[in-house]
Structures are given as structure tokens and as C-alpha cells.
């Protein structure tokens, strides 16, 4: 099953993607849908239809309670950044204001001159879980989506803590859909190709088989720290090929088209737009 959130004249609506249309579901976004008991049945229900071509895609979960990200989780990327394989996941957070939809513009902040790409597989929690074992962690994963952890490197490395370089507003595209595990090769441990291109130039290509900590391990680890709730978003880390590790480094500039894709899920296609006055950001 493929689930998404679209913008309509009545506000955002949760939808199910079919071959040639979206079916509207009884929730304002996928986060609201997942919070309802028996959401799987509700997600399969009939409803008003929307054509694919006219749909304006919002982030699938509009206001996740938590956005937890994992750094240094692909072996190839760890090597290119000159680090050792970690014993435990490296965790940081984003705030909901960072999220944009699958085809929205990414805002290039005037304050950063080192804006980098980071293609990622992400997943969404579908049931409340705390101190999960492998079985409950697997059952808590509602589905998988695509995310690009666009990072302001000059802000990230101002201090040992990464948060300030990771959560600039309107910087993190996510979507286009959430795909439930039964529709992916490998299920809750999906075996998927992850790619990223800038203006059509391939910059990242890897497989989730290179992950150090897989999604089930991440739910088990994170749920020992904090309760995970329906709609929480977890980004699993980026593979090698980031601009900051290149010699010389390469960064995003205004007008670039950033394309991020995970096989069997979908593609993000975002223009990098120069920052505008705060009053105009709602139109970006």
C-alpha cells in the first residue's frame, strides 16, 4: 500500500495512491491516520478520488511529534568522512518546520555557504512502542519513505552538536509516499537502491544493504530512550557521495535541481531556491 498527503482547497488530506489516482482517506494527513485504531482498514477504504497529475504533495506526516535522524550509518559514508564504524547509532533531531513536500522548493539560507545533499531512506512509526524487542519493533514500522537530509555544513560543524546544521526551515524534502513493508523487498529490513542527483548529475548511489544499523535495530535502540508514537519519523542515514567529502567540496547553489530516489518507493524532485523574506516563505 502507498499512502500520501496532498494539499486541497479544504486543507491537507491523507490519501492512498492507486495506479492512476489518489483515494481520499478519513484523516487530514498520514500522521492523523496512523493515530487511529485500526488504521490499516481505514487506509484501504473507498473515498473521493483525485487525479495523480493534479495532486500537490505535502510531507506525508505534516507535524510529526518526533523527527529522529541517524548519522554515520552507511559503511561507505563513514569511510569517506574518515571515521570508524560506530558501536551505537549516532542520533540527532529535526523539527517539523524543516520539512517540505516531494516537489516543493528547498530554501537556500543566506547564512550558509555550504549546503549539502544527503539522500536517505526514512520510515514512519505506526503504533506506540517503548522498550521494543525485535518483534514489537518490526510491528511498529508502518512504512517507508524518501528523505533528503539537506545539511548546512558550516553550521553543523560550528560545535560538536549537529542540530543547528540539520534543521533550517524549509530544507528537508520528504515523500512522495509511504510504502507499507509488505510491498517492499525485505519488508521491515528493505533491500533498496538509494540515489541522488544534482541537475541530473549522479552524486550518490548505494543500497540499504550497506546500513550499519537497520530499521528494526533503530526502533529497538531509540525506543529504549523515548516512547515512539504513530507518525514519528526516523531517517536512517546517508550513503557515500556527499558534497562535503569531495575534493574540492561541492555544495548546492540557487537554481539546482535535487533529485532523490529510493527504488520501489519514489522520487523527490526539488529546486533549490534562494531565501526570500520571511513573509513570503509560505509561498515557497
Query: What is the pTM for the complete model shown?
Result: 0.94
Q: Are residues 71 and 187 in the same domain?
A: yes
3-state secondary structure of 15: strand
Q: Are residues 131 and 39 in the same domain?
A: no
Instruction: Note down the domain range covering 37.
Output: 1-58
Strands 67-71 and 233-235: parallel
Cα–Cα distance for residue pair 110/272, rounded to 1 Å: 12
Q: Does residue 278 have a pLDDT over 70?
A: no
Q: Are residues 88 and 151 in the same domain?
A: yes
Of the three residues 39, 58, 77, the one that is the final residue of a domain is: 58
Partners of residue 151 on adjacent β-strands: 116
- The string of pLDDT tens digits covering residues 33-56 is 999 999 999 999 999 999 999 899
What average pLDDT score do residues 123-140 get? Answer: 98
Q: Are residues 11 and 79 in the same domain?
A: no
Three cell numbers written together for 253: 547553489
Three cell numbers written together for 94: 529535526
Q: Does residue 284 have a pLDDT over 60?
A: no
Three cell numbers written together for 73: 550509518
Q: Are residues 122 and 209 in the same domain?
A: yes
Q: Are residues 29 and 73 in the same domain?
A: no
Location of C-alpha cell 540499504: 208
- The string of pLDDT tens digits covering residues 137-151 is 999 999 999 999 999
Location of C-alpha cell 550509518: 73
How confident is residue 211, by pLDDT bands cut at 50, 70 and 90?
very high
Number of domains forming the structure of the chain: 2
Q: Does residue 7 have a pLDDT over 90?
A: yes
DSSP secondary structure of 107-138:
EE-TT-S-EE--EEEEEEE-S-BSS--HHHHH
Q: Are residues 154 and 187 in the same domain?
A: yes
Q: Are residues 171 and 278 in the same domain?
A: yes
Of the three residues 58, 75, 102, the one that is the final residue of a domain is: 58
- The string of pLDDT tens digits covering residues 55-105 is 999 999 999 999 999 998 998 888 877 888 889 999 999 999 999 999 999
Partners of residue 29 on adjacent β-strands: none
Strands 266-274 and 106-108: parallel
Q: Are residues 215 and 99 in the same domain?
A: yes
CATH number of the domain to which 162 belongs: 3.90.850.10
Per-residue confidence (pLDDT) for residue 75, from 0 to 100: 86
Cα–Cα distance for residue pair 46/84, rounded to 1 Å: 50
Q: Are residues 27 and 164 in the same domain?
A: no
Considering the chain, what percentage of its residues have pLDDT values greater than 90? 92
Q: Are residues 27 and 156 in the same domain?
A: no
Per-residue confidence (pLDDT) for residue 78, from 0 to 100: 83
Q: Does residue 281 have a pLDDT over 80?
A: no
Q: Are residues 45 and 172 in the same domain?
A: no
What average pLDDT score do residues 154-180 get? Answer: 97
Per-residue confidence (pLDDT) for residue 83, from 0 to 100: 82
Of the three residues 14, 29, 58, the one that is the final residue of a domain is: 58
Amino acid at each position: 500500500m502507498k499512502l500520501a498527503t496532498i494539499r486541497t482547497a479544504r486543507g491537507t488530506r491523507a490519501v492512498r495512491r492507486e495506479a492512476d489516482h489518489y483515494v481520499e482517506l478519513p484523516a487530514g494527513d498520514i500522521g492523523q491516520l496512523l493515530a487511529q485504531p485500526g488504521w490499516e482498514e481505514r487506509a484501504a477504504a473507498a473515498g473521493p478520488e483525485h487525479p495523480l497529475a493534479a495532486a500537490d504533495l505535502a510531507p506525508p506526516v505534516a507535524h510529526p511529534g518526533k523527527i529522529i535522524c541517524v548519522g554515520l550509518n552507511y559503511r561507505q559514508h563513514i569511510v569517506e568522512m574518515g571515521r570508524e564504524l560506530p558501536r551505537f547509532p549516532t542520533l540527532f533531531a529535526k523539527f517539523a518546520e524543516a520539512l517540505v513536500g516531494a516537489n516543493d522548493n528547498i530554501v537556500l539560507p543566506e547564512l550558509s555557504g555550504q549546503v549539502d545533499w544527503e539522500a536517505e531512506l526514512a520510515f514512519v512509526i505506526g503504533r506506540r512502542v517503548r522498550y521494543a524487542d525485535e518483534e514489537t519493533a518490526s510491528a511498529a514500522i508502518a512504512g517507508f519513505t524518501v528523505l533528503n537530509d539537506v545539511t548546512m555544513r558550516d553550521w553543523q560543524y560550528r560545535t560538536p552538536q549537529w542540530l543547528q546544521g540539520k534543521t533550517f526551515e524549509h530544507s528537508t524534502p520528504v515523500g512522495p509516499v509511504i510504502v507499507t513493508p509488505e510491498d517492499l523487498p525485505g519488508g521491515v529490513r528493505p533491500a533498496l537502491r538509494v540515489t541522488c542527483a544534482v541537475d541530473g548529475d549522479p552524486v550518490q548511489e548505494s543500497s540499504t544493504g550497506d546500513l550499519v544499523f537497520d530499521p528494526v535495530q533503530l526502533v529497538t535502540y531509540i525506543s529504549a530512550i523515548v516512547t515512539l508514537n504513530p507518525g514519528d519519523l526516523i531517517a536512517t542515514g546517508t550513503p557515500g557521495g556527499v558534497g562535503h567529502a569531495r575534493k574540492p567540496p561541492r555544495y548546492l547553489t540557487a537554481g539546482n535541481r535535487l533529485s532523490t530516489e529510493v527504488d520501489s518507493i519514489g522520487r523527490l524532485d526539488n529546486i533549490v531556491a534562494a531565501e526570500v523574506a520571511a513573509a513570503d516563505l509560505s509561498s515557497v
